[in-house]
C-alpha cells in the first residue's frame, strides 16, 4: 500500500472522537482526510443532528480544504466508527463533481483499507446529471 494512504488513514482516525454534543447533536463518529493536489492533508469529522443540518466527514474535510485556499482533490478516505473505510455518500460525490467537473473522475477513493481497494470517483459516479 502507498505510504500516503496510511498517512491519510491515520489523519482521519486522529480527528475521530465520537461524542454526544447535546440531545440533538453528535459528532466525530466518522473521520475523513482529503489529499489536495498540492500534497496537503485536510481532515474533517461528521456532525449528525436531529434535522438536516449535519454534515459528512468528507464534506467537512473538503470545506476545510476550501477554507485554506485549495480546491483540487487527489485522494479521499473516510473512516467509520469500526475502523473500516467506505465510499462517500451521494452528497459528498456531488460536491466533488461540482468542484472538479472536468477532472472529478480521477479522484481516488480508498474503498476498503484492509484489502487495499482503491477506486476512482468516475467508477462510482460515471455520469453526471448536468
pLDDT for the residue 1? 72
Cell 475523513, located at residue = 32
Residue 128 · residue 100 · CB < 8 Å: no
Residue 111 located in a structural domain: yes
Residue 89 · residue 53 · CB < 8 Å: no
Residue 80 located in a structural domain: yes
What's the pLDDT tens digit per position in 89-124? 999 999 999 999 999 999 999 999 999 999 999 999
Residue 130 located in a structural domain: no
Residue 40 located in a structural domain: yes
CATH of the domain at 73: 3.40.140.10
Residue 61 · residue 35 · CB < 8 Å: no
For 42, the grid coordinates are 485536510
Residue 88 located in a structural domain: yes
Q: Which residue in 34, 8, 27, 30 sits closest to 82, CA to CA?
A: 30
pLDDT for the residue 95? 97
DSSP conformational letter for 104: G
Residues of the domain holding 98:
3-124
Residue 129 located in a structural domain: no
pLDDT for the residue 116? 96
CA distance 106 to 119: 9
Pairing relationship of beta strands 73-79 and 108-112 according to DSSP bridges: parallel
- Spans in the chain with pLDDT lower than 50: none
Amino acid at each position: 500500500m502507498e505510504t500516503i494512504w496510511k498517512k491519510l488513514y491515520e489523519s482521519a482516525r486522529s480527528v475521530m472522537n465520537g461524542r454526544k454534543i447535546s440531545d440533538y447533536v453528535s459528532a466525530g463518529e466518522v473521520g475523513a482526510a482529503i489529499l489536495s493536489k498540492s500534497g496537503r492533508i485536510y481532515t474533517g469529522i461528521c456532525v449528525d443532528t436531529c434535522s438536516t443540518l449535519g454534515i459528512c466527514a468528507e464534506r467537512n474535510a473538503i470545506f476545510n480544504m476550501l477554507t485554506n485556499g485549495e480546491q483540487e482533490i487527489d485522494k479521499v478516505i473516510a473512516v467509520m466508527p469500526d475502523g473500516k473505510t467506505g465510499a462517500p455518500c451521494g452528497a459528498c460525490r456531488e460536491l466533488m463533481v461540482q468542484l472538479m467537473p472536468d477532472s472529478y473522475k480521477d479522484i481516488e477513493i480508498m474503498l476498503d483499507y484492509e484489502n487495499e481497494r482503491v477506486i476512482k470517483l468516475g467508477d462510482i459516479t460515471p455520469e453526471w446529471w448536468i
